[in-house]
Amino acid sequence: MPTVQFSRIPPAAQPPPPVAPPSPAGRKRRPLPWILTGLLALLLLGGLLYAVAPLRNPPPAPTAELTLPASMTIPGKAPKLPWPRTGQAMISIDGLGTMGTAGDTKPQPIASVTKMMTAYVILTAHPLGVGEHGPELTVSQAAADAFHGEQARGESLVAVQAGEKITERQALQALLLPSANNIARILATWDAGSIEAFVEKMNNTAKELGMTGTRYTDPSGLDPQTVSTVRDQVILAGKAMALPAFAEISKQKQATIPVAGTVTNYNELLGKDGVVGIKTGSTDEAGGCFVFAAVYTVGGRKVTVVGAVFGAPGNNTPVQLDNVFASTRSLLRATKASLAVHTLVKAGQQVATVHGPLDTGTTLHAAQDVQVVGWPGLEVKLDAQLGGVPARLAAGAEHGRLTVNLGDDAPVETALRAGAALEPPSTWDRIRHHG
């Protein structure tokens, strides 16, 4: 049987697996483009935020700084006044201050100058207008009976009688012009019920006014234990003369009152050397005393001089008063000669410096002269109202004022004007300076 032989047939050849191409030598993968873009955006945003940071808030407001001193002294040699050789003396200019003093500062008897406080207490408790008479007082039997004893002691008096009616104004005229001691007691009792209660009011008033060297023991000044100083009485004189009725009465040369008739003011200087008041006094213990006020016109401005001279020598009232009047007259004439108009600040003079943000700024200058009445050596205080300075100020624009306050008189002042224009810093300057 034929043999069938089978031969092995090799399997069909399989295709080789694909081979990846080799990577180029040293080549790295690149970051995705969006990462670079994001980083760049962040950098730009940070720079923008940094640049605009100073623009988020407005720049600080400008500030002004005074370049003049807070006070100025009038140049020149201080005047030498002819002070009396004895006693105490003082000259003060209303609104300006003390021109000078002489003598010690110890409290001393002031005689009938005391009646200035008596009148002041009465007028503050019972005010009168100019020309008004006010309420009536009735002279008691006791006051009338005391007259002869007071007269025997040589007191300064006016005649009175029981039941007499006298107005407040007439009583003050009798008190201040012929310096009637009995009227001082009548007024004190009328006001406070007793002399002791009235004296307490006098001392309380002195304390309120800062009259630290003063002690009253009676309303007339006859008691030498009533003492004061020229300083204290000048303080009181300024307050008293501010009362229209007091100022009106104290400058009268004569007045007519019931029973006594026409009375004359002891102040012989009234109407002379500018004198408009105030009160004389004289006793053996006090000597001649005089508190005075005078008004002058200096450079078209009214100036009130208030002063006092205590302790003028003399053996009796006429001599004492003659001596105190002579001293006062010399002092007033020298005072008037020393007063003049002085220019403290000239128009165009720099008064303040304005500091703005980022080194911006300008200056402020006086628009007019600042002139005051005074004397060489007087220190005058300046008051600058600079206020809030705006961010923008044109050259020559008005801002602020410079003022000199002179007591009760109208202040002396001038407007202030800018020098160069003040402009706020630009946006670019604010960004540039931020870095």
- pLDDT by 10s per residue, the chain, length 435: 444 343 444 455 555 555 555 555 545 555 567 776 766 666 665 554 555 555 566 777 888 888 988 888 999 999 999 999 999 999 999 888 999 999 999 999 999 999 999 999 999 999 999 999 999 999 999 999 999 999 999 999 999 999 999 999 999 999 999 999 999 999 999 999 999 999 999 999 999 999 999 999 999 999 999 999 999 999 999 999 999 999 999 999 999 999 999 999 999 999 999 999 999 999 999 999 999 999 999 988 899 999 999 999 999 999 999 999 999 999 999 999 999 999 999 999 999 999 988 778 899 999 999 998 999 999 988 888 888 888 888 999 999 999 887 655 668 889 999 999 988 876 666 566 654
Give this prediction's pTM: 0.80
Same structural domain, 288 and 377: no
On whether residue 199 sits in a domain, the answer given is yes
Same structural domain, 237 and 201: yes
On whether residue 356 sits in a domain, the answer given is yes
Same structural domain, 244 and 171: yes
Same structural domain, 299 and 228: yes
Same structural domain, 208 and 274: yes
Same structural domain, 274 and 230: yes
Same structural domain, 285 and 353: no
Six token digits for residue 340: 């003049």
Same structural domain, 239 and 276: yes
On whether residue 303 sits in a domain, the answer given is yes
On whether residue 15 sits in a domain, the answer given is no
Residue 325 lies in domain = 105-338
Same structural domain, 396 and 314: no
Q: How many domains does the chain have?
A: 2
Q: Which of 276, 310, 338 delimits the end of a domain?
A: 338
On whether residue 97 sits in a domain, the answer given is no
Q: Which of 338, 357, 389 delimits the end of a domain?
A: 338
**Segment 125-128 long-range contacts (CB within 8 Å, at least 24 positions apart):** 125/191, 125/201, 126/168, 126/191, 127/243, 127/245, 128/168, 128/169, 128/172, 128/245
On whether residue 205 sits in a domain, the answer given is yes
Cα dihedral 160, 163, 169, 172 in deg (nearest 10)? 40
On whether residue 21 sits in a domain, the answer given is no
Q: Which of 338, 361, 385 delimits the end of a domain?
A: 338
On whether residue 98 sits in a domain, the answer given is no
Same structural domain, 274 and 349: no
